[in-house]
Amino acid sequence: MESLLPSVSIDPDLAAIWPATALGCVFWSAPVLPHAPQLWQYFASHTQPRLAQLLETTELAALPQIGPSRRAFKAFGRDPGRVRISSEALYRRLRQGKELYHINTAVDANNLVSLETGFSLGTYDLACLQGNLVLRLGREGESYAGIGKDALDLNRMPLLADDAGPFGCPCSDSQRAMIVANTPANAAPRPLLTVIYGFSGAEGLEAAIAVTHKHLSAFAAANSLVSKVVCP
């Protein structure tokens, strides 16, 4: 299986600005179902109570991975107060007492891992991607339609691109590779990729990958999982 997977690399120009950039990549397959009731039961009994206490006593910048990500974005030339990584956005939503979005089994498991580890994660439909993948800085004039958002300005943004161009970033992914639930007539597993965006070096990514394996298997029916850490 590994020989059929796209390669993932980090552009040297990005790494020169922030050498502590690293990615955790989990290739997996599963049918994507509309609902994950067991996941939300787990969230209500385990994750939410712990986070409620943490968010009450801890500044956002001191939460796991938020500080390094903010400093990395500033080094790249983006204002971290205006573009926030997805894990920070999730923490803010919980802190404001808002309910998390219920999307589908793959996306909800993705967000659960993000909340428990502090890393920003993106999950992508491999059938929608072309060629090999690279994390690089966005170029002037580059943008894409974000999920549930208008065009996202990608200039100086750390982003994932394939042969067709940008498709994901730690803040908001594109509609092109977004995960949609299988139809009832087609519940066959399909190949997916979950990327853990790290800006504090490779340390911590292995533990985050272990949490990813655990939750994807338990709540998203993941199988054929293949993982690796990508460093500059």
Contact between 92 and 199 (Cβ < 8 Å): no
Write down the pLDDT at residue 2.
58
Q: How far is it, in rounded angstroms, from Cα 199 to Cα 75?
A: 11
Strands in 133-137's sheet, in edge-to-edge order, are 8-10, 133-137, 158-162, 165-168
Write down the pLDDT at residue 9.
98
Contacts of 144 (CB under 8 A, 6+ apart): 151, 152, 154, 165, 166, 167, 174, 175, 176
Backbone phi and psi for residue 79, each to the nearest 5 degrees, phi listed first: -80, 110
Write down the pLDDT at residue 148.
76
Write down the pLDDT at residue 145.
87
Write down the pLDDT at residue 183.
64
Q: How far is it, in rounded angstroms, from Cα 122 to Cα 173?
A: 7
Interval 52-87: pLDDT, tens:
999 999 999 999 899 999 999 999 999 998 999 999
Contact between 154 and 28 (Cβ < 8 Å): no
Residues of the chain with pLDDT under 50: none
Please tell me whether residue 19 adopts helix, strand or coil conformation. coil
Write down the pLDDT at residue 146.
85
Write down the pLDDT at residue 1.
53
Write down the pLDDT at residue 3.
58
Please tell me whether residue 90 adopts helix, strand or coil conformation. helix
pTM higher than the cut 0.75: yes
Q: Which amino acid is at 29?
A: S
